Chains A and B, each alone.
Chain A
Amino acid sequence: MSKALKAVLAVAFLAVVFVGVPMLIAATGRSDLYYTLTSVALLSIISAGVWITFYIGRINIGQGAFALLGGYVSAILVMTYGVSFWLTLPLAGIFCALVSVLIGLPILRLRGVYFAMVTLTLTEVARLLALAVPITNGARGIVSIPLPGSVTIFGVTVIPDFATLSNPRLAFYFTAVTLMVICFAGLYRLVHSRIGHICQSLQQNEELASSIGVDIAYMRILAYALSSFLGGIGGAMFAAISQSIYPSSFTIADSVNFMLNCFLGGLGYVLGPMLGTFVLYFGWDLLFQTGSFQLLIFSSILIALMLVLPNGLLSIRLRSQSQG
């Protein structure tokens, strides 16, 4: 694809997301879609984190732990310390990144299925911790978290108080979509810069990468921290939207879904996690009519898709390109 075409597509995407969708929802009156699309946007941010760990050659099934952690960090800071939500958002991400450095130092030495197994247990560890630690209020969770307040810079209100808005759903939608755009634009830049090549070198052969002077331990930690940062941001946003956080807000099933989103969209494409999340989320909803067969049909389709398209949905585009 040429640069001009990419730019046109990017602008078109922004127009659809920021103008098209709100107009369409206003016209059809389906304002429940705001919540759905906000969730998709946030889940795709969390999945983007998982995608980064895939990019350095690690299967990460523990992203739920960091989403949960981020949610709690934000909720506790808002509730107990009265910090503005907008400040807790980056803090939640940074806290998750720091924790992931500590966890990553020992476990990132593992490869393949061993790393995957350890991360799988992380989500469960996080849930049990949330149940046990006093500050998280156990199984009752943290509830009635106030909506995000206003942000004023030099007397100018940049972000209004969400509680005063007639339609906070729309405000959350814009926030989530903005975060998603920033996240994927950053990811795109990262992957297409030299950093992306270094990550790829790690994915393909760590020994060779270290022989050309790449500090593989440092790069692994950096990627994992970034991944967990995104998990924390997503988790904090979810806590703010639902105004609550429980130990069961993010479970192992969620961690697996984050991974599936990446698989489905395509591990080789930056936009893979976004498309994967969208399709997976709506695909699941569409199958709601099938009742008790929902999971059976859903998982069969997923397995079939992975067999037919091992490189993800986005590989269809690539294949048609190489033929024509």
Chain B
Amino acid sequence: MADILEVSALTKRFGGLVANNDISFNVRENEILSVIGPNGAGKSTLFKLIASFLSPTSGEVRFRGKRISGLAPHTVARMGIVRTFQETTIFKTMTVRDNVIIAHHLRSRANLLGFFFATKTAQEDEKEFARSADEIIDFLGLGHQRNEIASNLPHGHLRALGIAIGLATNPTVLLLDEPFAGMNHDETRRALDIVRGVRDRGVTVLLVEHDMPAVMKISDRIVVINFGQKIAEGTPKEIQENPQVIEAYLGAEDASIGM
């Protein structure tokens, strides 16, 4: 499989703090790659660097050979690299359906004036967005809540809505920021199915996550970072047996890394 994202020698400093230090790895087309690491290891920073919400101090991220570091987030989103958010970041006062419809922004063929005057193209766009939004909502199991105001959704469904918003942009690479955080067993199982489903739609998934058992179950490959540095990369099995990884997680119970 071809590499779709190349992260090379990525370094990010905040004043004296080195959040990410010389991190390199590649993401392959249509795989599920997880980035894990203890609290404060620099996962979130890495995530923001890849989605271009932050600019690296040095190093770069390339998407299909093109440098994306330093571009505006909406430009990177337009290229097909879209992130979801760790917090329950949604458009709170809109309905579930409107949340997903608005997220089709990148697929518009009509321009703003076209939407103002409701040209034929704009009307076709609207129709297509509504149809596609309904499909995505059903896919994520939010069908019975489509007309609910988003802020009224229970926790687990908010995550699903976050992923729905990401999917609506028709991404090539979807970055999921802790999609399983704060979920109970059943919710996690459902979320795992969703993430697999997303991958089966042809999307490359890169996720940052705490929940070890979930990561071990779902990932094709895993990158482990600690104190801002990459300490291991490999299949879930390789990672489980890696002494450095075990050491990094020492103090955590063995069960928490799925052994």
| Residue of A190, A213, A217 with highest tally of chain B CB at under 10 A | A213
Instruction: Determine if B106 and A212 form an interchain contact, defined as CB atoms under 8 angstroms apart.
Output: yes
Known: A194-B108, A198-B102, A205-B89. A210 touches B77 (CB 8 A): yes
Instruction: Determine if A212 and B85 form an interchain contact, defined as CB atoms under 8 angstroms apart.
Output: no
How many contacts A-B (CB < 8 Å)? 81
Q: Does A208 contact B (CB under 8 A)?
A: yes
Instruction: Determine if B85 and A211 form an interchain contact, defined as CB atoms under 8 angstroms apart.
Output: yes
Q: What CA separation (Å) do A89 and B120 show in the bound complex? A: 32
| Residue of A190, A205, A208, A217 with highest tally of chain B CB at under 10 A | A208
Q: Which residue of B lies closest to A217 (CB)?
A: B72
> Which of B89, B90, B106, B112 contacts A213 (CB under 8 A)?
B106
Instruction: Determine if A198 and B94 form an interchain contact, defined as CB atoms under 8 angstroms apart.
Output: no
Contacts of B148 in A (CB 8 A): none
Q: What CA separation (Å) do A215 and B126 show in the bound complex? A: 19
Instruction: Determine if B122 and A194 form an interchain contact, defined as CB atoms under 8 angstroms apart.
Output: yes
Instruction: Determine if B118 and A193 form an interchain contact, defined as CB atoms under 8 angstroms apart.
Output: yes
Instruction: Determine if B74 and A214 form an interchain contact, defined as CB atoms under 8 angstroms apart.
Output: yes
Q: What CA separation (Å) do A276 and B109 show in the bound complex? A: 37
Known: A207-B85, A212-B102. A194 touches B73 (CB 8 A): no
Instruction: Determine if A193 and B116 form an interchain contact, defined as CB atoms under 8 angstroms apart.
Output: yes
Q: Does A201 contact B (CB under 8 A)?
A: yes
Residues of chain A from 198 to 233 with CB closer than 8 A to chain B in the complex: 198, 200-201, 204-205, 207-208, 210-217, 222
Instruction: Determine if A211 and B78 form an interchain contact, defined as CB atoms under 8 angstroms apart.
Output: no
Contacts of B92 in A (CB 8 A): 204-205
Instruction: Determine if A212 and B78 form an interchain contact, defined as CB atoms under 8 angstroms apart.
Output: no
Contacts of B82 in A (CB 8 A): 211-213
Q: What CA separation (Å) do A151 and B198 show in the bound complex? A: 62
Contacts of B112 in A (CB 8 A): 195, 222
Contacts of A208 in B (CB 8 A): 85, 89-91, 165
Q: Does A109 contact B (CB under 8 A)?
A: no
Q: Which residue of A lies closest to B98 (CB)?
A: A197
Contacts of A217 in B (CB 8 A): 72
Q: Does A111 contact B (CB under 8 A)?
A: no
Q: Which residue of B lies closest to A218 (CB)?
A: B74
Q: Does A140 contact B (CB under 8 A)?
A: no
Instruction: Determine if B105 and A198 form an interchain contact, defined as CB atoms under 8 angstroms apart.
Output: yes
B91 CB, min distance to chain A CBs, angstroms: 5
Contact string against B for A residues 163-205, beta-carbon threshold 8 Å, 1 for contact and 0 otherwise:
0000000000000000000000000011001110110110011
Q: Does B115 contact A (CB under 8 A)?
A: yes
Contacts of A205 in B (CB 8 A): 89-92
Instruction: Determine if A197 and B101 form an interchain contact, defined as CB atoms under 8 angstroms apart.
Output: yes
Instruction: Determine if B105 and A212 form an interchain contact, defined as CB atoms under 8 angstroms apart.
Output: yes
| Residue of A198, A204, A208, A212 with highest tally of chain B CB at under 10 A | A212
Q: Does B169 contact A (CB under 8 A)?
A: yes
Q: Does B168 contact A (CB under 8 A)?
A: yes
Residues of chain A from 97 to 145 with CB closer than 8 A to chain B in the complex: none
Q: What CA separation (Å) do A161 and B115 show in the bound complex? A: 38
B39 CB, min distance to chain A CBs, angstroms: 22
Q: Does B103 contact A (CB under 8 A)?
A: yes
Instruction: Determine if B85 and A214 form an interchain contact, defined as CB atoms under 8 angstroms apart.
Output: no
Instruction: Determine if A211 and B73 form an interchain contact, defined as CB atoms under 8 angstroms apart.
Output: yes
Q: Does B83 contact A (CB under 8 A)?
A: yes
Instruction: Determine if A216 and B53 form an interchain contact, defined as CB atoms under 8 angstroms apart.
Output: no
Contact string against B for A residues 35-75, beta-carbon threshold 8 Å, 1 for contact and 0 otherwise:
00000000000000000000000000000000000000000
B32 CB, min distance to chain A CBs, angstroms: 20
Contact string against A for B residues 68-112, beta-carbon threshold 8 Å, 1 for contact and 0 otherwise:
000011100110001111000111111000100111011010001
Known: A207-B89, A212-B168. A193 touches B74 (CB 8 A): no
Contacts of A213 in B (CB 8 A): 74, 77-78, 82, 105-106, 169
Known: A210-B74, A211-B82, A212-B103. A204 touches B169 (CB 8 A): no
Contacts of B116 in A (CB 8 A): 189-190, 193, 195
Q: Does B142 contact A (CB under 8 A)?
A: no
B174 CB, min distance to chain A CBs, angstroms: 11
Knowing that A211-B51, A213-B105 touch, tell me 13 more A-B residue pairs with CB under 8 angstroms. A193-B115, A194-B126, A195-B112, A195-B115, A200-B91, A205-B91, A207-B89, A210-B73, A210-B74, A212-B82, A213-B74, A214-B105, A222-B112
Q: Which 3 A-B pairs have the closest CB atoms?
A: A213-B106, A213-B77, A194-B115
Residues of A within 8 A of B (CB): 189-190, 193-195, 197-198, 200-201, 204-205, 207-208, 210-217, 222
